[in-house]
């Protein structure tokens, strides 16, 4: 039985990847390693928790000896590494947490994989999940390709860029069989409500202000999370060792247009008069170093591995809003306690 380690599997994207792999690969043992930080939530995986090919391990990737022992115990055949501190605003407030998890944690995993695979790397694979933010910020024209020079501009993106460089260094220096993908903004069920889309859905539901940084003119390229999980599955199985694949939604929105779209759908779903939710839009102080535009050229992935996004944004956003409206308990469990403190600190003097 092949043993696949998935890190960060209790988080937003990780939980969709774990579910896909547990259900699709019954002949593989899927081990989900997650520290269960504020962003990790085992509720995300309750439907597959009892499956015989699924194991959850609570642990921290920054703990070198723990990681070493885990790899020695399980002798993993491959790793899909998603665990990370992932929110740009938190990286502005506390960069060190990002350096520890995203850089040190990644190196611990690389070292442990190198150690158990060094005699024979045949059939082994270390798949590092990264972000388009490593490429920096675009003007009005152009797209990020796999050869765009790195130009990270937030502590989050700098820590992810650093981890990408280290993964490539282990390929060139030690021959570790690595593959990397860099994806655009994900949206969908189970996303922690610190990120723009779930935060806005929740605030609209509660009739609270929707905070838009600056003038709302920044542009993001949104991809439904299941389409990202499917791309990860393809790249895991068919991606070429040493290669990088960009993944994007071909779906650019300014933040303000995106929020108007969400307000329109929410008004319809909540039986409010059109235009009601949009009145909650509040322009607040901009994010420091706010990247203007991200947009991804996924043509390599589309041509070489025949991937394409399956959902139109209109359908994806309806599904996402329905999920949040139908999973009030999931949201309420998060909103009590720590989240309230974070929200006050992040938005109080904006
Ligand atoms: P998330 O914040 O929802 O989840 C991160 C998970 O990692 C959580 O379950 C958390 O408990 C776990 N974790 C954090 N620190 C850990 C540690 N030290 N040890 C073990 N586990 C730890 O993040 P996400 O949005 O699902 O992103 C997953 C990955 O995908 C990240 O690497 C991120 O950089 C990348 N990514 C995210 C997006 C996006 O739009 N969300 C886009 C492109 C790439
Ligand atoms: O591009 C991929 C990246 O997308 C991932 O690597 C990150 O992990 C993920 O968090 C996301 O980063 P962003 O910073 O783009 O996502 P966020 O949802 O935080 O913000 C989206 C846009 O909305 C951005 O331009 C900032 C803006 N924004 C965000 C928040 C939280 C607001 O205007 N108001 C807000 O309250």
Q: Is the CB of 284 under 6 A from ligand 2?
A: no
What residue ranges do the domains of the chain occupy?
2-191+221-250+292-311
Which atom of ligand 2 is nearest the CA belonging to 200? 36
Q: Is the CB of 84 under 6 A from ligand 1?
A: yes
Tell me the ligand closest to 37's alpha carbon. 1
Q: Is the CB of 144 under 6 A from ligand 1?
A: no
Q: What is the DSSP letter of 148?
A: S
Q: Is the CB of 45 under 6 A from ligand 1?
A: no
Residue 306 bridge partners (DSSP) = none
| Residue of 38, 130, 158, 185 to test ligand 2 pocket, by largest number of atoms within 8 Å of CB | 185
| Residue of 287, 317, 349 to test ligand 2 pocket, by largest number of atoms within 8 Å of CB | 287
Q: Which CATH number fits domain 2-191+221-250+292-311: 3.90.550.10, 3.10.20.600, 3.30.56.10, 3.40.50.720?
A: 3.40.50.720
Per-residue tokens: 79: 């790793």
- Give the span between the Cα atoms of 345 and 350, in whole angstroms: 10
**In this structure, which residue's CA is closest to atom 14 in ligand 1?**
84
What's the confidence (pLDDT) of residue 341? 92
pLDDT, mean of residues 119-142: 97
What's the confidence (pLDDT) of residue 257? 98
Give 237-286 pLDDT, tens digit per residue.
Answer: 999 999 999 999 999 999 999 999 999 999 999 999 999 999 999 999 99
In DSSP notation, 202-239 reads: HHHHTT--EEEETTS--EEEEEEHHHHHHHHHHHHHHP
- Note whether 68 and 56 are within 8 A (CB): no
Q: What is the mean pLDDT of the chain?
A: 97
pLDDT, mean of residues 50-54: 98
Question: Please, what's the b/e burial string for 237-252 (b: 16 or more CB within 10 A of its CB; e: otherwise)?
Answer: eebeeeebbbbbbbbb
- Note whether 158 and 152 are within 8 A (CB): yes
Give 160-209 pLDDT, tens digit per residue.
Answer: 999 999 999 999 999 999 999 999 999 999 999 999 999 999 999 999 99
CA 88 – ligand 2 centroid, Å: 7
- Note whether 192 and 198 are within 8 A (CB): yes
H-type alpha helices, 26-154: 64-74, 88-93, 95-98, 106-117
Residue 221 bridge partners (DSSP) = 252
- Helix H or strand E encompassing 87: none
CA 40 – ligand 1 centroid, Å: 8
Q: What are the contacts of 94-100 at 24+ separation with CB within 8 A?
A: 95/155, 95/159, 98/155, 98/156, 98/159, 99/155, 99/159, 100/62
Residue 55 bridge partners (DSSP) = 31
What's the confidence (pLDDT) of residue 250? 92
- Give the span between the Cα atoms of 347 and 203, in whole angstroms: 13
Q: Is the CB of 87 under 6 A from ligand 2?
A: yes
CA 163 – ligand 1 centroid, Å: 13
Q: Is the CB of 196 under 6 A from ligand 2?
A: yes
Tell me the ligand closest to 342's alpha carbon. 2
Contacts of 31 (CB under 8 A, 6+ apart): 3, 4, 5, 6, 55, 56, 57, 74, 76
Q: Is the CB of 129 under 6 A from ligand 1?
A: yes
The angle subtended at Cα 63 by Cα 333 and Cα 42, nearest 5°, is: 25
Report pTM. Answer: 0.98
Backbone φ/ψ region at 8: left (φ over 0), alpha (ψ -120 to 50), beta: left
Residue 336 predicted with pLDDT over 90: no
- Give the span between the Cα atoms of 215 and 74, in whole angstroms: 50
| Residue of 213, 283, 294, 317 to test ligand 2 pocket, by largest number of atoms within 8 Å of CB | 213
State the catalytic residues: 132-133, 156
Residue 337 predicted with pLDDT over 90: no
The angle subtended at Cα 247 by Cα 246 and Cα 250, nearest 5°, is: 120
Residue 115 CB neighbours (<10 A): 11
């Amino acid at each position: 039985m092949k043993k696949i380690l998935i890190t960060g599997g209790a988080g937003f994207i990780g939980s969709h990847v774990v579910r896909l792999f547990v259900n699709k690969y019954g002949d593989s043992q899927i081990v989900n390693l997650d520290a269960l930080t504020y962003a990790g939530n085992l509720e995300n995986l309750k439907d597959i928790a009892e499956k015989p090919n699924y194991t959850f391990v609570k642990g921290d990737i920054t703990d070198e000896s723990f990681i070493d022992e885990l790899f020695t115990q399980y002798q993993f055949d491959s790793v899909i590494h998603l665990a990370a501190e992932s929110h740009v605003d938190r990286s502005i407030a506390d960069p060190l947490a990002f350096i520890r998890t995203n850089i040190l944690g990644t190196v611990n995993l690389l070292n442990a994989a190198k150690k158990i695979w060094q005699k024979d790397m045949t059939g082994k694979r270390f798949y590092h999940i990264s972000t388009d933010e490593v490429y920096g910020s675009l003007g009005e024209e152009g797209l990020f390709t796999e050869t765009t020079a790195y130009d990270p501009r937030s502590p989050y993106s700098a820590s992810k860029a650093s981890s990408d460089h280290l993964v490539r260094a282990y390929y060139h220096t030690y021959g570790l069989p690595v593959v990397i993908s860099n994806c655009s903004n994900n949206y969908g069920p189970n996303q922690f409500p610190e990120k723009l889309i779930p935060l806005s859905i929740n605030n609209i539901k509660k009739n609270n202000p929707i905070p838009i940084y600056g003038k709302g003119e920044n542009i993001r390229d949104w991809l439904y999370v299941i389409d990202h999980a499917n791309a990860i599955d393809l790249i895991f199985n068919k991606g070429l060792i040493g290669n990088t694949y960009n993944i994007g939604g071909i779906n650019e929105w300014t933040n303000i247009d995106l929020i108007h779209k969400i307000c329109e759908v929410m008004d319809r779903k909540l039986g409010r008069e059109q235009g009601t939710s949009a009145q909650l839009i509040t322009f607040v102080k901009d994010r420091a170093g706010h990247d203007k535009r991200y947009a991804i050229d996924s043509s390599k992935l589309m041509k070489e591995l025949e991937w394409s996004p399956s959902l139109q944004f209109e359908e994806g956003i309806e599904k996402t809003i329905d999920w949040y409206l139908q999973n009030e308990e999931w949201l309420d469990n998060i909103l009590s306690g720590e989240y309230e403190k974070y929200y006050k600190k992040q938005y109080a003097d904006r």
